[in-house]
Amino acid sequence: MSSPLDFPTLSIVDHPLVRHKLTLLRDRATPTKQFKELVDEIAMLMAYEATRDLVLEPSSVDTPLETTGGWTVRGKKLTLVPILRAGLGMVEGILRLIPSARVGHIGLYRDHDTLEPVDYYFKVPGDVSERDFLLLDPMLATGGSASAAVTSLKRAGASRIRFLCLVAAPEGVRRLTADHPDVPILTASLDRELNEHGYILPGLGDAGDRLFGTR
Ligand SMILES: O=P(O)(O)OC[C@H]1O[C@H](OP(=O)(O)OP(=O)(O)O)[C@H](O)[C@@H]1O
Ligand SMILES: O=c1cc[nH]c(=O)[nH]1
Ligand SMILES: [Mg+2]
């Protein structure tokens, strides 16, 4: 994992498997089925890094030979929150690693003309203040959606939030960091820039459309 000097809250997960799979994901010829599988796999690999500091509780285990000490992850306190729709593609892969994590949902779409986020759904588990949140969205473009999602989580009482995406634009990292400097950002790639329509370059296109076969 590396952190660019000019983006103090950003970590780039640059594991060779992540870089390989992200290249396939960017390919315009990658069909929907494979695109979905790749998002799932990259999210799982990134979750390994994103959960480095998960809280462990001491436990004991009976091996076939004797009893010994071990550790148990307090996974129930981890809450995955996909930003609909595209964030949904990242949930299953992470749940395979941490099956006891809970899942909330935030519904947001970006208005095509204004690029402003429009919110339409919010549901997270109770006891928000005791939970660690992993906010999921493959794309951090202008940062408007991620920033609004963090604001909603904080309004509900969340204080420990990190944001996990696959592709980030510098504009989005700057916006999210300015609005929420306490939220660490993990990405598989920091891309070059946004185009005039707010799409990330080189990017991978519209993540929601490619995941769900809509256009
Ligand atoms: O950083 P921003 O400029 O806010 O853009 C990023 C948002 O745009 C995409 O969602 P979209 O609005 O296309 O919704 P969808 O997932 O329902 O297609 C993406 O999944 C992010 O949520
Ligand atoms: O490049 C982009 C920007 C926003 N949303 C996407 O899905 N892709
Ligand atoms: Mg979309």
Give yes or no for residue 21 having a pLDDT over 80: yes
Average pLDDT over residues 127-155: 96
Ligand 1 contacts CB of residue 208 (under 6 A): yes
ipTM: 0.97
pLDDT in tens, 35-81: 999 999 999 999 999 998 888 999 999 999 999 999 998 766 899 99
Q: Is 144 annotated as a binding residue?
A: yes
191 in active site? no
Domain map (residue ranges) of the chain: 10-53+77-212
Report which ligand 1 atom has the smallest distance to the Cα of 207.
20
Q: In what order do the strands lie in the sheet with 189-190?
A: 139-140, 167-168, 189-190
30 in active site? no
The beta strand positions in the chain, using DSSP E, are 10-12, 56-62, 67-73, 78-84, 102-103, 105-110, 117-123, 132-136, 139-140, 160-164, 167-168, 185-187, 189-190, 193-194, 200-201
pLDDT at 46: 96
CA of 55 to the centre of ligand 1 (A): 31
pLDDT grade for 190, boundaries at 50, 70 and 90: very high
What is the rounded distance in angstroms from the CA atom of residue 44 to the CA atom of residue 33?
Answer: 17
CA of 179 to the centre of ligand 3 (A): 23
Angle between helices 32-50 and 16-26 (to 10 degrees): 150
Q: Which one of the listed residues 40, 102, 110, 191 is annotated catalytic?
A: 110
**Domain 10-53+77-212 CATH class label:** alpha beta
Report which ligand 1 atom has the smallest distance to the Cα of 148.
4
Predicted structure pTM score: 0.95
User: 90 near 114, Cβ under 8 Å?
Assistant: no
pLDDT at 54: 85
Tally the C-alpha atoms within 13 A of residue 4's C-alpha that lie toward its C-beta.
16
Element (H, E) at 40: helix 32-50
Residue 111's contacts (CB-CB under 8 Å, 6 or more residues apart) are: 117, 118
CA of 109 to the centre of ligand 1 (A): 6
Ligand 2 pocket at CB < 6 A:
139, 141, 198-200, 203, 206-208
Percent of the chain whose pLDDT exceeds 90: 88
pLDDT at 3: 83
pLDDT grade for 121, boundaries at 50, 70 and 90: very high
10 Å CB burial of residue 154 (0-12, 13-18, 19+) is middle
131 in active site? no
pLDDT in tens, 97-114: 999 899 999 999 999 899
